[in-house]
Amino acid sequence: MATNNRAVAYSGNGDVVVKDIDFPELVLRDGPGVNPANVGRKCEHGVILKVVSTNICGSDQHMVRGRTTAPEGLVLGHEITGEVIETGRDVEFVNKGDLVSVPFNIACGRCVNCIEGKTHICLNVNPDRPGSAYGYVDMGGWVGGQAEYVMVPYADFQVLKFPDKDQAMDKMLDLTMLSDIFPTGFHGVYSAGVKIGSTVYIAGAGPVGLAAAHSAQLLGASVVIVGDLIEERLEQARSFGCETINISKHDNISEQIEQILGVPEVDAAVDCVGFEAHGHSHEEAPAVVLNSIMGATKAGGGLGIPGLYVTEDPGASDEDARQGALKLNFGLGWAKAQTFVTGQTPVMQYHRGLMQSILSGKADIAKAVNATVIGLEDAPKGYSEFDSGVPKKFVLDPHGLLKS
């Protein structure tokens, strides 16, 4: 068995490095970002994976930009697909050699929230608050999966096993999106009430926004409109049939929606931007997306908000935003009786069905998000390019299994 392990870690000052870290064990050891109450936590219910693919996420970028309290040395990565190489004593239904997708939410399967399907707010995996994730600040300290090998706890409950390994490897650029981005985009539009014939506005043409747009199409939306500041991203949205609005040229999205639909409102809208949102002048305005989609969504419509918001933002431009407080026009949303759904996506509610959509050829998520494979050692360059706004979803290939 291998004993070396290379991983991507936050190094401060907007940078990441690839470095040697400990080979994973079925116990959570002390390290950067590990909650003291989690140190020494035994995980005989877990497995160790040889990572087949692991993706760079916009949520990772928030930490790398210094917009959270993430400590230097934190191993990143919550989008993980891998092959099981070791199982814990208490694992019954997952076997060595299985190829699996790992939900980014860490969930025990035992607490009342998990039993109710709310695996995004598990009560037992993060001593600080409900909900946890791999390689993420204030999420309990579970080691990230942008690495060659990673430990995954509660394996019998959490992991999604692919039915045929050869078929899965052929579809890996699509299947790697099941750990986060595809369910997150789908959750955004599904929770906003998108159905057959709906008109939908997607704020943000990054990977999650593109995944949400493709998901809206899968759900039968009649028109999907995507807004962004970067023309190259909008071109990617148009490549699979979306209408687009360049926010840098048009600050009133309702007027642009009316030009497309004949009316200034959509049935549903999704915020895929989050707390680092910028207005049409490219200046940071944390609540601009939320306020704009309330105005552009019909009375009684739904707003899906999978875009990340934080309780602490050290890099914010004003004191309120540093504490996660936004200048939200909530009265407008109340007056229009709109529905808001926020928070982490409960991946396990969606990933099996989305897997079947991929394997049957109904979903083409890799094409929609422009999946782009790079080696693990190229992660710093990938982070830099992603931060510049390129229309790509970077997929790390730690063992060269995708390139071959």
Query: Is 393:384 a contact under the CB 8 Å cutoff?
Result: no
88 and 202 inside one domain: no
Query: Is 153:146 a contact under the CB 8 Å cutoff?
Result: no
* 3-state SS class at 210: helix
Instruction: Indicate which CATH number applies to the domain containing 165.
Output: 3.90.180.10
Q: What is the pLDDT of residue 160?
A: 98
72 and 53 inside one domain: yes
Domain boundary, last residue among 342, 357, 388: 342
Query: What are residue 331's phi and psi, to 5 degrees?
Result: -60, -35
| Cα separation, 50 vs 399, whole angstroms | 9
* 3-state SS class at 186: helix
In a domain, 280, yes or no: yes
Q: What is the pLDDT of residue 67?
A: 81
Q: What is the pLDDT of residue 281?
A: 56
133 and 198 inside one domain: no
Q: What is the pLDDT of residue 299?
A: 98
115 and 129 inside one domain: yes
141 and 231 inside one domain: no
Q: How many residues does the chain have?
A: 404
Instruction: Indicate which CATH number applies to the domain containing 286.
Output: 3.40.50.720
40 and 176 inside one domain: yes
Q: Which domain holds residue 323?
A: 181-342
Domain boundary, last residue among 298, 327, 342: 342
Per-residue pLDDT of the chain (404 residues; tens, 9 = 90+): 677 899 999 998 889 999 999 999 999 999 999 999 999 999 999 999 999 999 999 889 889 988 888 999 999 999 999 999 999 999 999 999 999 999 999 999 999 999 999 999 999 999 999 999 999 999 999 999 999 999 999 999 999 999 999 999 999 999 999 999 999 999 999 999 999 999 999 999 999 999 999 999 999 999 999 999 999 999 999 999 999 999 988 889 999 999 999 999 999 999 998 767 666 555 667 788 899 999 999 999 999 999 877 777 677 677 777 777 778 889 999 999 999 999 999 999 999 999 999 999 999 999 999 999 999 999 999 999 999 999 999 999 999 999 64
DSSP per residue over 102-135, as a string?
E-SB---S-SHHHHTT-GGG-SSS-SSSS--BTT
85 and 14 inside one domain: yes
In a domain, 123, yes or no: yes
| Cα separation, 50 vs 65, whole angstroms | 28
273 and 360 inside one domain: no
Q: What is the pLDDT of residue 188?
A: 97
Please state the domain count of the chain. 2
In a domain, 135, yes or no: yes
- Structure letter (DSSP) for residue 22: P
Residue written as token pair 């309702």: 254
176 and 188 inside one domain: no
Find residue 75's DSSP bridge partners.
Answer: 9
Q: What is the pLDDT of residue 311?
A: 72
List the structure tokens of 204: 């943000």
**pTM for this structure?**
0.94
In a domain, 404, yes or no: no
Q: Cβ–Cβ contacts within 10 Å for residue 21, how many? A: 20
In a domain, 402, yes or no: no
In a domain, 300, yes or no: yes
197 and 282 inside one domain: yes
| Cα separation, 256 vs 234, whole angstroms | 14
218 and 122 inside one domain: no
In a domain, 1, yes or no: no
171 and 269 inside one domain: no
DSSP H helical segments within 82-177, as ranges?
Answer: 112-115, 155-158, 165-170, 172-175
In a domain, 403, yes or no: no
